[in-house]
Structure 1
Amino acid sequence: MSLQIEATIATFAGKLHKIVHESSAVGGQMKFNLFLPAQTSTHKVPLLYYLAGLTCTGDNGAEKGGLLCPAAQHGIAIVFPDTSPRGAQIAGEDDSWDFGTGAGFYLNATKAPWSTNYRMEDYVVNELPKLLEQQFGKEIDMSRQSLFGHSMGGHGALSLFLRYPNKYKSVSAFAPISNPSECPWGEKAFSGYLASKEEWAEHDATELIKKYDGPTPEILIDVGRGDQFYQQKQLLPENFSDASLASKYANKVNLRIHDAYDHSYYFVATFAVDHIEHHAKYLN
């Protein structure tokens, strides 16, 4: 299936493409943003996946995250996927902001009726890379890929990195939902999308890191102490950090908790340079 470029915007000497395509993974149309830094015709660039949070689209991180300038400086492409299928015509998909539309949780649903369309894990891990390889393979080096994300997207970045240990070079997260099996957001999503509770641990970063047995690049996590969702125990990053201490990842999770910062894109933009530099160490 071909990608259609709806708009191209010049920025930081590179290009931001706004792209639409038909997805076989989710059974409908999907949109995403792709930033390509300036490059020579003989030099391919590595790729970062930025996974956004609840209610977001592929536009939020590209427009508000402060990520494009440091990515341009380090010669890194960034793809900004959507957060769920759109218009799947499933009863109830638009009833709440934290489940259904805009809240795909980067997993493949196993419970009907969500299992037909809500297959964001397959979309991000398999379909999207193949499409990018087909259309941008002369510009992007698909052998060098990494993940980062915000909130629900931080959950997605951590869990997909740990589920596919040889696919990504590095991972980081802004205010991630770190232990979804133990917080209201995760409990709602997992009980709605997954057919059995036994499946929850397979999509929970805190559980996944306990048995992880792949490469161990440092994991960078930033959280604001003023984040209302951190205060409400939705994020639980300490659970993830604590679990790592008894794993192969012992002392390689850099959890930084900052006074005052909230959950917004002001917070993401504040630490955007740190995260791009973190990934540049492993991608370049």
Structure 2
Amino acid sequence: METVSEWTCFGGDLSVHDHDSETLDCSMRFAVFEPPQTSEEPVPVLWYLSGLTCTWANVMEKGGLQRKASELGVMIVAPDTSPRGDKVPDDEAYDFGQGAGFYLTATEKPWEKHFRMDQYIMEELPSIIRSNFAADMRRQSIFGHSMGGHGALTLALKNPGHFRSVSAFSPIVAPTQVPWGQKAFKGYLGDDEAAWKAYDACELVRKQQLDTTILIDQGEDDQFLDEQLKPRLFEEACREVGQPLAIRMRPGYDHSYYFISTFMDDHIMHHAKALYG
């Protein structure tokens, strides 16, 4: 692991690191915010998964998470959204290829060699965090935005008990039913739509519920709300099976980090309550 950048922030430390990923067969970059409490003892870890086209920088530079994470003693890890590099296949579209990993394991060529973001986040990167930071890996939670909200929901539902809490901003909750997800799943997973359901939060929650309340914030003026996000589908699925869900529709807010930063403190407090409960 190589440290690329490092800054002091709200009494804690924000750092950016590169490493060679065996899972993804390329170099990967991630960021970590360590609160000041790590100087005394290991602290719980909150994973943040970003959306299409994003990197670690979007949330660390625009999300406004450091103040509350510092106050509550929560480490936040922000992985990249996909494998990257000259040897990694790509697509000229913003919503497929590099920057659009969709937190799944691809099975189709040429993507299957590198695009294994779910394995990377659940297995390889946690090992690196455990070995290099004052992280209490017995206490982990996860949240994300848009494609990253999809990742947070699906990883939590597929690994019950692993994360103490889960939340999302503007998540893609039904990717098998919307253009973003259908395009990505067809490219990464092929034509078998049955395989797609393993990465669809609406499908997953009907089979596996969590013993924690899922928190979702969604802007009512989000330009992707009706075509790509469809949060009411997830609300309906949760209601059918009794999954606790708090979904908050926010008038006037869009899909941007202005929206995310407005409610970031709420989400960090939601997770800190579970992590320290």
State the TM-score, normalizing by the size of structure 2: 0.97
Q: Deviation digits for residues 106-135 of structure 1, max 9, x if unmatched?
A: 111111111100010011110000111111
Q: 1:116 aligned to 110, 113, 116, which one?
A: 113
Distance 1:15 1:89 in 2: 32
Distance in 1, matches of 2:196 and 2:230, equals: 16
Does 2:173 align with 1:178?
yes
Instruction: In structure 2, give the amino acid aligned to 1:11.
Output: C
More helix by share: 2
* Corresponding position of 2:151: 156
**What SS is found at the alignment partner of 2:126?**
helix
Contact map agreement 1:28 1:88 (CA 8 A) in 2: no
Q: Partner of 1:279: helix, strand, or coil?
A: helix
Whether 1:4 aligns to 2:27 is no
Rounded to whole Å, the distance in 2 between the matches of 1:58 and 1:203 is 22
Same amino acid, percent of matched pairs: 48
Looking at structure 2, the residues matched to 43 and 28 of structure 1 have their Cα atoms a distance apart, in angstroms, of 33
Question: Which residue does the alignment assign to 2:128?
Answer: 131
**What amino acid maps onto 1:256 in structure 2?**
R
For residues 128-175 of structure 1, give each alpha carbon's deviation from its aligned partner in whole angstroms, at most 9, with x where no partner exists. Answer: 001111111xx1100101100000000000000001112111000000
What is the Cα deviation at residue 40 of structure 1? 5.4
Q: Which amino acid aligns with 1:274?
A: D
Query: Does residue 277 of the first structure (1) align with residue 269 of the second (2)?
Result: yes
Residue of structure 1 in register with 2:200 after alignment: 204
Residue 58 of structure 2 corresponds to residue 63 of structure 1: no
- Contact 1:52-1:58 within 8 A present in 2 as well: yes
Q: Deviations over 1:37-95 (max 9, x none)?
A: 0015442110000000000001111110111111111100000000001125355x131
1:32-111 matches, cutoff 5 A: 32-39=30-37, 41-87=39-85, 89-90=87-88, 93-111=90-108
Matched, 1:267 2:259: yes
Does 194-203 or 120-129 show the bigger shift?
Answer: 194-203
Q: Which amino acid aligns with 2:184?
A: A
Q: Tell me what 1:192 maps to.
A: 187
Kept in 2, the 8 Å contact 1:212–1:248? The answer is no
SS in 2 for 1:46: strand
Please, what is the CA RMSD of the aligned residues?
1.1
CA distance in 1: counterparts of 2:49 and 2:43, whole angstroms: 19
Distance, in Å, in 2 between the alignment partners of 1:260 and 1:40 is 38
Q: Given residue 135 of structure 2, which amino acid in structure 1 is its aligned partner?
A: I
